[in-house]
Amino acid sequence: MKMRYLGGLAMASALVLSACAGGGTSGDAGESSGSSDSGSSAEGANTLLIYVDPVREPACLAYQEKMAGEVDITCEVVGQEEILPKVVLSNQTGSGWPDVTFNPSNNVGIFQDPLNGYALKLDDYVDPAIIDGYNGSGDWCKIEGSYWCLKNDLAQTVLWYDTVIFEELGLTVPTTMDEFAATALELEGTGYVAGAIGDQGFYAGYLWPSGCPISTVIDTDTVQISPDAPECTRVVELVQPLVDAGVLDTRGSFDAGFIEDIARQQKVAMQIGPSWWGQFVIRPEDSWGIPAGRMTAAEMPSWAGESTNWSGEWGGGVWVGNSNHPNPQIVADAIVFLATDPDMRADKVTFPGYTPAFEKWREPLTTDAFYASDPTAAMVAQVPKIRQTERPARFDLRGQLGVLGTEIQGNPGDIAGAVRTFMEGAIELAQGVGYTVVD
């Protein structure tokens, strides 16, 4: 009888396992590459295990070469979504942490949490001059008065516009959001649009610069999310008439249809978008493929009553160090090199945060014939104007931003409802990770 049940159990397990493996419905998300034991912090004070994405790998390899003989560095290319679970698992086992990680910006909110404890407090190990070199744009990493990461790049929003269309219609570049709306309405009936809002761009380019509290972390246990704040409702009130007039597209900027019907036909007269759009979205032949001499960037328009024309951010990775490493200084040194070295970022599409690095990065672009005029002046102007009301939180805002896009695409006639659904979801997510949500 016993054997019979053992056999039954074995078969039951086999069925469960085969069901897991069968068909196209099981997941194999997150496969690690290479050995994760090598260079683990537990082994010694002079070894570093660095997790990077493919774009950041050359910088890591360069540092590996530079430090050869002094620090034994292992560079491992790891999916961005794998870092968090790997750190959590290492916390569980008490060993095997990666020593330096390149993260999506929000991870620092989780890693700084004392209950997680992974993030190394950088204050004592990084020269204050480095922090100053960010001109305040690195303050995303400043939590409770200390720095817990260094920004790799800034994704500050600017106003991209097509000078040819502006000249054709006799438009002037808007400097306030009211002017932006008026300019957009002048596009009605021309076939041109003032961009697309059915994705994260609506958060980064409208809600965040307006100061709508969505991820406004007050302390470790409290976050402000206020769907009814005037900074949120004014965005909806400004945008809805533009959507109704057909001058704001409610698809995403990466939607195949939008790219085909609008962007590639050079129908985007202007669009609020992050600094990396020029080289990554607008220029490449296989993306928007806008011809040379048309596009450039202007500073962000300001919201009524604001003394500053704030930017939001769409992306912008951060470097975080391992607080469990026996030699925090070599961790911090690696972070400084990876985040700020000018040579390592000159040819990348993203805007470096550290002043000497962005000076080198912008240089070829200032005279680049692709742009109608130097687009980097506006980007540089926005560097200290990234609105610091939105803060790294422990809940997955980035995932929830997908909901915002989906809601806008699904209900173009009710942007207010879309924003409310998005924010109410954010409230539930925040409560789900233990925040008290205040209005």
For another protein, the binding residues (CB under 8 A) are 3-4, 6-8, 10-20, 22-30, 81-82, 84-85, 87-89, 92, 110, 115-116, 199-200, 251-252, 255-257, 260, 394-396, 398-406, 409-410, 425, 428, 432-434
Which of the 8 DSSP states describes residue 373? S
Give the separation between CA 287 and CA 264, rounded to whole angstroms: 8
H or E element in which residue 58 lies = helix 57-66
Amino acid at 248: L
Amino acid at 416: A
- Least Å distance between CB 14 and another protein? 8
User: What is the DSSP pairing of strand 436-438 with strand 222-224?
Assistant: parallel
Give the separation between CA 292 and CA 277, rounded to whole angstroms: 15
- Least Å distance between CB 10 and another protein? 7
Closest CB to another protein among residues 233, 411: 411
Which residues, at least 6 apart from 198, have a Cβ–Cβ distance to it below 8 Å?
249, 250, 251, 252, 255, 405, 408, 409
The DSSP result for 135-153, as a single string, is TTTTGGGEETTEE--EESE
- Least Å distance between CB 231 and another protein? 23
Closest CB to another protein among residues 120, 401: 401
- Least Å distance between CB 32 and another protein? 13
- Least Å distance between CB 329 and another protein? 27
- Least Å distance between CB 339 and another protein? 23
- Least Å distance between CB 421 and another protein? 11
On whether the CB atoms of residues 285 and 225 are closer than 8 A, the answer is no
- Least Å distance between CB 390 and another protein? 18
CB atoms within 10 A of CB 404: 26
Closest CB to another protein among residues 63, 202: 202
Closest CB to another protein among residues 251, 362: 251
Q: What is the largest CA-CA distance in the chain?
A: 89
Radius of gyration of the chain (CA): 24
Closest CB to another protein among residues 176, 406: 406
Closest CB to another protein among residues 97, 134: 97
Give the separation between CA 353 and CA 382, rounded to whole angstroms: 11
On whether the CB atoms of residues 206 and 181 are closer than 8 A, the answer is no
H or E element in which residue 345 lies = none
- Least Å distance between CB 381 and another protein? 29
Closest CB to another protein among residues 9, 182: 9
Closest CB to another protein among residues 62, 403: 403
Q: Which of 385, 389, 425, 388 is nearest to 405 (CA)?
A: 425
Place of tokens 């402000």: 224
Amino acid at 377: A
Residue 429 burial by Cβ neighbours in a 10 Å radius (0-12, 13-18, 19+)? buried
Closest CB to another protein among residues 138, 274: 274
